[in-house]
Chain A
Amino acid sequence: MPADAWVLLIAILAPLAAAGTALFARRGWARALHGITPVISAAAAAAIAIRVIEQGPLRYAMGAWPTPLGIHLEATGSTAALLLLVALVAAAAAIHAHAGARAAPADPSSRPALFWVFFYALWAALNALLLTADIFNAYVALELITLASVALVAQSGARECLAAALRYLFMALFGSILYLAGVALIYGASGHLDLSQLNGTLRPDAATWVAACLMTTGLAVKTALFPFHFWLPAAHAHAAAPVSAVLSALVVKASFFLLLRLWLGPFATLDAAMLSHLLGGLGAAAIIWGGLAAWRQHRLKLMIAYSTVAQIGYLFLIFPLFAAAPSAAWNAALFHVVAHGIAKAALFLAAGNILWTMGTDRLGVLARLDGRMRMSIMAMALAGVSLMGLPPAGGFVSKWLFLQAAIAQQSWGLAVVVVAGGLITSLYVFRLMGIAMTAAEPDGAAPAPRRVSRLMESVPLALAVLAFILGIGAALPLNLIQIGVPFAVAAEPHAQASGGWLPIAILLSSLLPGLAVFFLRDTSAALRTALTIGGAVAKVALVIVLLLGVHAGRDFEARIVFLPGLDLVLRADPLTLQFVTLSALLWLITTIYAIGYLADSAERSRFFGFFNLSVTASAGIALSGNLLTFLFFYEFLTLATYPLVVHRGTRDAIAAGRTYLIYTVGGGAAVLLGTVWLHVLGGNLDFSPANALTALHARAPLSVGMIFLLLIGGVGVKAALVPLHSWLPRAMVAPAPVSALLHAVAVVKAGVFGIIRVLYDVFGVTFSHAYAGTLFLAGIAALTIVYGSLRALYQDDLKKRLAWSTVSQLAYIVLGASLAGPIAAVGALVHIVHQGLMKSTLFFCAGNLAEVRGIHKVSEMQGAGRMMPWTMAAFTLAALGMIGLPPIAGFVTKWYLAAGGIQAGANWILLVLVASSVLNAAYFLPILQAAWFKAPLERARQAPSAAPGQPRRAPTWWLVAPPAVTAVLSLGAGLFAGLSFSPLGWAEIIVQRTYYPVSPAP
Chain B
Amino acid sequence: MTDLPPEVIIYAAASAALLGLGLYAFVMQRHPLRRILALNIMSAAVFLILVANARRTPDAEPDPVAHALVLTGIVVAVSTSALALMLMRRVHGGDDAPPADAAPPDR
| A184-B87 contact given A166-B32, A169-B80, A170-B35, CB 8 Å threshold | no
Q: Give the A-B contact count at a CB cut-off of 8 A.
A: 90
Q: Establish whether residues B91 and A169, one from each chain, have CB atoms under 8 Å apart when the complex forms.
A: no
Chain B residues within 8 Å of A297, by CB: 107
Q: Which residue of A lies closest to B47 (CB)?
A: A184
Chain B residues within 8 Å of A234, by CB: 104, 106
* B70, chain A: closest CB distance, angstroms: 9
| A170-B106 contact given A181-B49, A187-B53, CB 8 Å threshold | no
Of the residues A69, A187, A230, contact of B50 by C-beta under 8 Å: A187
1/0 contact string of B56-93 vs chain A (CB within 8 Å): 10000001011001001100100110011001101100
Q: How large is the interface on A (under 10, 10 to 19, 20 to 34, 35 or more residues)?
A: 35 or more
* CA gap between A974 and B65 in the complex, in Å: 90
Q: Establish whether residues A187 and B66, one from each chain, have CB atoms under 8 Å apart when the complex forms.
A: yes
Q: Establish whether residues A177 and B49, one from each chain, have CB atoms under 8 Å apart when the complex forms.
A: no
| A206-B1 contact given A69-B65, A170-B35, CB 8 Å threshold | yes
Of the residues B1, B22, B50, B83, contact of A147 by C-beta under 8 Å: B83
* CA gap between A976 and B87 in the complex, in Å: 83
Chain A residues within 8 Å of B63, by CB: 191
1/0 contact string of B17-56 vs chain A (CB within 8 Å): 0010010001000001001000100110110011011001
A383 CB–B CB distance under 8 Å: no
Q: Which residue of B lies closest to A296 (CB)?
A: B107
Q: Establish whether residues B53 and A188, one from each chain, have CB atoms under 8 Å apart when the complex forms.
A: yes
A162-188 contacts to B (CB < 8 Å): 162-163, 165-166, 169-170, 173-174, 177, 180-181, 183-185, 187-188
* CA gap between A136 and B87 in the complex, in Å: 27
Chain B residues within 8 Å of A170, by CB: 26, 32, 35, 39, 84
* CA gap between A143 and B80 in the complex, in Å: 8
Q: Which residue of B lies closest to A189 (CB)?
A: B53
* CA gap between A187 and B22 in the complex, in Å: 22
| A173-B80 contact given A136-B69, A166-B88, A166-B91, CB 8 Å threshold | yes
Q: Establish whether residues A181 and B83, one from each chain, have CB atoms under 8 Å apart when the complex forms.
A: no
* CA gap between A620 and B96 in the complex, in Å: 67
Q: Establish whether residues B76 and A143, one from each chain, have CB atoms under 8 Å apart when the complex forms.
A: yes
Q: How large is the interface on B (under 10, 10 to 19, 20 to 34, 35 or more residues)?
A: 35 or more
Q: Establish whether residues B49 and A185, one from each chain, have CB atoms under 8 Å apart when the complex forms.
A: yes
Chain B residues within 8 Å of A166, by CB: 32, 84, 87-88, 91
Of the residues A147, A159, A191, A193, contact of B91 by C-beta under 8 Å: A159
* A69, chain B: closest CB distance, angstroms: 7
* CA gap between A163 and B105 in the complex, in Å: 11
* B98, chain A: closest CB distance, angstroms: 14
Q: Establish whether residues A184 and B106, one from each chain, have CB atoms under 8 Å apart when the complex forms.
A: no
Chain A residues within 8 Å of B76, by CB: 139-140, 143
A146 CB–B CB distance under 8 Å: yes
Q: Establish whether residues A191 and B42, one from each chain, have CB atoms under 8 Å apart when the complex forms.
A: no
Q: Establish whether residues A184 and B104, one from each chain, have CB atoms under 8 Å apart when the complex forms.
A: no
Chain B residues within 8 Å of A169, by CB: 80, 83-84, 87
Of the residues A68, A157, A188, contact of B49 by C-beta under 8 Å: A188
* CA gap between A735 and B88 in the complex, in Å: 58
Q: Establish whether residues B26 and A174, one from each chain, have CB atoms under 8 Å apart when the complex forms.
A: yes
* CA gap between A151 and B22 in the complex, in Å: 25
Taking chain A's interface residues, is the majority helix, strand, or loop, or is none over half, making it mixed? Answer: helix
Chain A residues within 8 Å of B52, by CB: 188
A465 CB–B CB distance under 8 Å: no
* B107, chain A: closest CB distance, angstroms: 7
| A165-B87 contact given A140-B72, A173-B39, CB 8 Å threshold | yes
Q: Establish whether residues A184 and B101, one from each chain, have CB atoms under 8 Å apart when the complex forms.
A: no
* CA gap between A282 and B106 in the complex, in Å: 20
| A184-B50 contact given A163-B104, A166-B91, A191-B56, CB 8 Å threshold | yes
* CA gap between A860 and B46 in the complex, in Å: 84
* B5, chain A: closest CB distance, angstroms: 13
Chain A residues within 8 Å of B46, by CB: 177, 180-181, 184
* A317, chain B: closest CB distance, angstroms: 25
* CA gap between A190 and B14 in the complex, in Å: 21
Q: Establish whether residues B39 and A146, one from each chain, have CB atoms under 8 Å apart when the complex forms.
A: no
Q: Which residue of B lies closest to A299 (CB)?
A: B107
Q: Which residue of B lies closest to A168 (CB)?
A: B87
Q: Establish whether residues A146 and B80, one from each chain, have CB atoms under 8 Å apart when the complex forms.
A: yes
A133-148 contacts to B (CB < 8 Å): 136, 139-140, 143, 146-147
A233 CB–B CB distance under 8 Å: yes
Q: Establish whether residues A162 and B90, one from each chain, have CB atoms under 8 Å apart when the complex forms.
A: yes
* A829, chain B: closest CB distance, angstroms: 56
A154 CB–B CB distance under 8 Å: yes
* A209, chain B: closest CB distance, angstroms: 12
| A151-B39 contact given A163-B104, A188-B53, CB 8 Å threshold | no
| A180-B73 contact given A150-B87, A163-B104, A169-B87, CB 8 Å threshold | yes
* CA gap between A188 and B52 in the complex, in Å: 8
| A177-B83 contact given A166-B88, A206-B1, CB 8 Å threshold | no
Chain A residues within 8 Å of B90, by CB: 154, 157, 162
Chain A residues within 8 Å of B107, by CB: 297, 299, 302
Of the residues A150, A157, A191, A299, contact of B83 by C-beta under 8 Å: A150
* CA gap between A165 and B84 in the complex, in Å: 9
* CA gap between A143 and B79 in the complex, in Å: 10
1/0 contact string of A73-106 vs chain B (CB within 8 Å): 0000000000000000000000000000000000
Q: Which residue of B lies closest to A170 (CB)?
A: B35
* CA gap between A170 and B79 in the complex, in Å: 13
Chain B residues within 8 Å of A136, by CB: 69, 72
Chain B residues within 8 Å of A69, by CB: 65
Q: Establish whether residues A162 and B87, one from each chain, have CB atoms under 8 Å apart when the complex forms.
A: yes
Chain B residues within 8 Å of A140, by CB: 72, 76
Q: Which residue of B lies closest to A185 (CB)?
A: B49
* CA gap between A206 and B16 in the complex, in Å: 14
Q: Establish whether residues A147 and B80, one from each chain, have CB atoms under 8 Å apart when the complex forms.
A: yes
* CA gap between A157 and B90 in the complex, in Å: 9
Q: Establish whether residues A174 and B69, one from each chain, have CB atoms under 8 Å apart when the complex forms.
A: no
1/0 contact string of A570-593 vs chain B (CB within 8 Å): 000000000000000000000000
Most buried by B among A151, A174, A184: A184
A370 CB–B CB distance under 8 Å: no
Chain A residues within 8 Å of B56, by CB: 191
1/0 contact string of A705-725 vs chain B (CB within 8 Å): 000000000000000000000
Q: Which residue of B lies closest to A302 (CB)?
A: B107
* CA gap between A230 and B107 in the complex, in Å: 11
A160 CB–B CB distance under 8 Å: yes
* CA gap between A147 and B91 in the complex, in Å: 17
* CA gap between A68 and B66 in the complex, in Å: 10
Q: 27 A-B pairs, CB-CB below 8 angstroms?
A: A68-B65, A136-B69, A147-B79, A147-B80, A147-B83, A150-B83, A150-B87, A157-B90, A162-B87, A162-B90, A169-B87, A170-B26, A170-B39, A173-B80, A177-B46, A181-B42, A181-B45, A181-B46, A181-B49, A184-B46, A187-B50, A187-B66, A188-B49, A188-B53, A206-B1, A234-B104, A302-B107
Given contacts A166-B84, A177-B42, 4 further A-B contacts (CB under 8 A): A143-B80, A147-B80, A166-B87, A234-B106
**Top 5 nearest A-B pairs by Cβ distance?**
A188-B53, A184-B49, A162-B91, A166-B87, A177-B42
